């Protein structure tokens, strides 16, 4: 404990043109904490069975005092959390904070991003409404079409051959126990590494000439302001745009028109839609999934790219790829939304 206090007393944050981006790690952490708290509260009333899931969410929204608030905050914060995680990752890319000695921090961060997406995917099914049921169907179908491991992965995710009661139980287990335990460990690891390595400075700033701001109290107070502001945003979203209940899932009904996954999966979804059904001898969807796998794999080892080049050339390469990736994700998310 005293070690932690000493660490905090000496921790500093460099002040330069990109300092504002340092907030996003904290924002992501803060929103995750909100998810944990509101998630635990929801757990007091949620019932994870096909017969009662939808009704228990309805109960929370209508009968439990401030249930509408807790649930809406949980749903909105989930979306804001994933967005913040992406911003945090891209800010690390463009300030080049992944460089030695922070490779493990980057890697653990990528895994954490994957875990956040896993939280989003598993949590989405729990209200058991039409949209969540069919979005999960589509999502698990895509996973099951991966080469070699696809069908096994599909069965593992779904708890069977179809999305149903077994899937709900399984997703509930992922969402409230398995993913949280893994995330807790990894977050601690990630933060410890950040403290150990200190805050990085972007390559265009000279490390010796830069002004440093004390983390405590100066940066911390600023961070508090940002977190409070995030709370205000969440409150407005929850009160003015309460999250809807939807219709109870009916597996025998046809999928709602224009069913599509949540926005954070839209770019991949739309890309898969665009890929032609057959490219030479390969199935289009298979190629698409392989492509994503390759992209994710290379992205994870970003710190090790272009080791043969000079520092400046490597920096330019990563910045270039980063810009293209952001543009691709942004464009295809928008396209996936409107098409």
Partner 1 sequence: MRAPAIVFLLASIGLFAQGTAKNTCVDCHAALDGDTQRPALLIKNDVHTASGLTCVDCHGGNRNAEDPSEAMDRAKGFIGKPARTAIPKLCARCHSSPDFMRKFRPQQRVDQFELYQTSVHGKRLASGDDTVATCIDCHSVHDIRAVKDGMSPVHPLRLPETCGRCHADQHKMAKYGIPTNQLADYRTSVHWNALKIRGDLSAPNCASCHGNHGAKPPQVDSIAAVCGSCHVLFAQLYTKSVHEPIFSAASGGGGCIVCHSNHAIHQPSTAMLVGPKAVCSQCHEAETPGGQVAAQMAKWIDGLDSALKHSEAVVTSADKYGMEVSEAQVRLGDGRENLVKARLALHSFQPAEMRKPIEAGMAIANETLRAGQDALHEKDVRRMGLAASVVFIGITILAIWALIRRIESRGVSTQDHI
Partner 2 sequence: MELNDGSTGCCGECGSPPQQTRRSALSWLLGAGVSASLASFFYPVLRFLNPPHVTEAAVNEVAAGKVQDLKPNSGKIIKFGNKPALLVRVSETEFKAFSAVCTHLNCTVQYQDSTRQIWCACHNGTYDMNGRVVSGPPPNPLEEFAVLLRGDDVVISRRA
Q: Which residues bind partner 2 (CB under 8 A)?
A: 41, 44-45, 47, 51-52, 55-56, 58-59, 63-67, 69-70, 217, 228, 231
Dihedral (Cα; 8, 11, 14, 15), 10-degree rounding: 40
Residue closer to partner 1 (CB basis): 12 or 197? 12
CB of 158 to partner 2, least distance (A): 21
214-219: long-range pairs with CB below 8 Å, 24+: 214/11, 214/12, 214/13, 215/8, 215/11, 215/12, 215/13, 216/8, 216/9, 216/11, 219/13, 219/22
225 binds, among partner 1, partner 2, none (CB under 5 to 8 A by kind): partner 1
- Give, as ranges, the residues between 233 and 262 that touch partner 1 (CB under 8 A): 235-236, 239-242, 244
Q: Which residues are CB-neighbours of 168 under 8 A, at least 6 positions away? A: 48, 49, 50, 53, 125, 126, 128
Distances (CA, A) of 239 to 66, 83, 325: 10, 20, 34
Give the C-alpha separation, 232 to 226, whole Å: 10
The distance of closest approach from Cβ of residue 197 to partner 1 in the complex, given in angstroms and rounded to an integer, is: 14
Closest distance to partner 2 from the beta carbon of 1 (Å): 20
Residue 249 and residue 54 in contact, taking contact as beta carbons nearer than 8 Å: yes
Q: Please report how close the Cβ of residue 63 comes to partner 1 at its closest, in angstroms.
A: 8
What are the start-end ranges of the E strands in the chain? 12-15, 211-214, 278-279, 282-283
Which of 169, 197, 218, 271 touches partner 1 (CB under 8 A)? 218
> Is residue 222 close enough to count as binding partner 1 by CB under 8 A?
yes
Q: How far is 272 from 289, CA to CA, in rounded Å? A: 8
Binding mask 170-209 for partner 1 (x = CB under 8 A): --------------------------------------x-
For residues 6-25, which are near partner 1 according to CB under 8 A?
12
Which of partner 2, partner 1, none sits in contact with 52, Cβ below 5 to 8 A by type? partner 2
Q: Does 221 bind partner 1 (CB under 8 A)?
A: yes
Interaction site with partner 1 (CB under 8 A): 12, 61-62, 68-69, 208, 211-214, 217-218, 221-222, 224-225, 228-229, 231-232, 235-236, 239-242, 244
């Amino acid at each position: 404990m005293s070690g932690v206090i000493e660490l905090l007393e000496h921790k500093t944050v460099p002040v330069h043109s990109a300092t504002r981006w340092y907030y996003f790690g904290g924002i992501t952490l803060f929103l995750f904490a909100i998810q944990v708290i509101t998630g635990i509260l929801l757990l007091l009333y949620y019932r994870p069975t096909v017969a009662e899931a939808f009704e228990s969410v309805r109960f929370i929204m209508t009968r439990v005092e401030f249930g509408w608030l807790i649930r809406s905050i949980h749903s909105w914060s989930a979306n804001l959390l994933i967005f913040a995680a992406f911003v945090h990752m891209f800010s690390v890319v463009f300030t080049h904070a992944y460089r030695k000695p922070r490779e493990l921090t980057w890697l653990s961060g990528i895994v954490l991003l994957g875990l956040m997406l896993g939280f989003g995917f598993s949590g989405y099914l729990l209200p058991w409404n039409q949209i969540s049921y069919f979005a999960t169907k589509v999502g698990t179908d895509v996973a099951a079409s991966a080469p070699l491991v696809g069908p096994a992965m599909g069965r593992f995710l779904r708890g069977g051959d179809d999305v149903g009661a077994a899937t709900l139980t399984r997703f509930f287990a992922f969402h409230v126990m398995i993913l949280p335990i893994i995330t807790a460990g990894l977050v601690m690891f990630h933060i410890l590494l950040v403290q150990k390595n200190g805050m990085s400075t972007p390559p265009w700033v000279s490390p010796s000439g830069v002004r440093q701001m004390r983390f405590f109290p100066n940066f911390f107070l600023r961070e508090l302001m940002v977190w409070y502001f995030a709370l205000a945003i969440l409150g407005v979203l929850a009160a003015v745009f309460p999250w809807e209940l939807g219709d109870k899932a009916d597996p025998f009904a046809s999928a709602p028109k224009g069913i599509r996954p949540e926005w954070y999966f839209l770019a991949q979804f739309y890309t898969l839609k665009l890929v032609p059904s057959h490219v030479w001898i390969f199935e289009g969807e298979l190629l698409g999934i392989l492509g994503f796998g390759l992209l994710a794999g290379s992205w994870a080892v970003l710190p090790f790219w272009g080791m043969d080049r000079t520092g400046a050339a490597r920096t330019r390469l990563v910045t270039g790829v980063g810009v293209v990736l952001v543009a691709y994700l942004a464009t295809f998310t928008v396209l996936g939304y409107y098409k």
